[in-house]
Amino acid sequence: MGGTSEKMLHERRHSCKLTFLGTGAGTFAIAKQNRATGGLLVELDSAVLHIDPGPGASVRARECGFDLGRVQAMLVSHSHIDHMNDLPVLIAAITKGYRRRAGCLVLSERTLKDLASSTVLAHYLKTLKRIVPLNTGEQTRVGRVKIMAAEAKHYRGNVGFVLKGSKQVSYVSDTEYFAELRDWHEGSHVLVLNVVRPDNCDAPRQMNTRVAARLIGEVRPKLAIISHFGRSMRRPATEAKWIQSKTGVRVCAASDGLILTVR
């Protein structure tokens, strides 16, 4: 019996679970909520991380049966509203209504400056236990997981994130393709990419399906997941199948509320 309990504890500490609280991108998704915009939860080696908590994060978490009070760290890629609007809501959940200092916020120095320029947001930020501004290539740690800021080219201060634990999970935030992008995410078991538009639509300073296929083919993760779709991305599952056929890598399209456990 003891051996069974130890095995279950070991598996929990070395597991990876992704919960998509939203797969929508941009102002249309924010306004219409045809696709949710609540961000991505990553549970890796007992660390609980929320990446890019956009509008509706708390509502979508409740629909998924997830208690946001469990979140240990919030990772914000940049200061666009579909990536950080519900940050104060998460802070409220983590700090028990701002009554205790708790939680960690990881972001770039430029994004921190943007957020702190708001008097309202600055007040909430003061209730956090840790704020960790990272320049690209710099790392911090939450539990057993190392978090590295990866270069991205989209908006001032924009970064991606590489989570290194028993598995490597990479989050390719909004970005255009550039030659070094592969190097930042090399060795990933799971590669999550923000792919705003389909193959036949150009996406200035963002990714479409064609560009995503190029990166996936170079990184060659065990699993690639496309998400963060604009309104022109009408058939994400079809786009994912096309990428898989081109790269030979397993690719799936995220959907609102999707929960994946990676072993």
Nearest to 52 by CA among 29, 11, 81: 81
Confidence of residue 5 (pLDDT cuts 50, 70, 90): low
At 36-83, the pLDDT tens digits run: 999 999 999 999 999 999 999 999 999 999 999 999 999 999 999 999
Give the integer Cα–Cα distance in Å for 40 and 259: 10
At 200-210, the pLDDT tens digits run: 898 889 999 99
User: What CATH superfamily classification does 15-255 receive?
Assistant: Ribonuclease Z/Hydroxyacylglutathione hydrolase-like (3.60.15.10)
**Domain map of the chain by residue range?**
15-255
Spatial strand order in the sheet of 190-194: 139-142, 145-151, 159-164, 168-172, 190-194, 223-227, 251-253
pLDDT of residue 200: 84
Predicted model pTM: 0.94
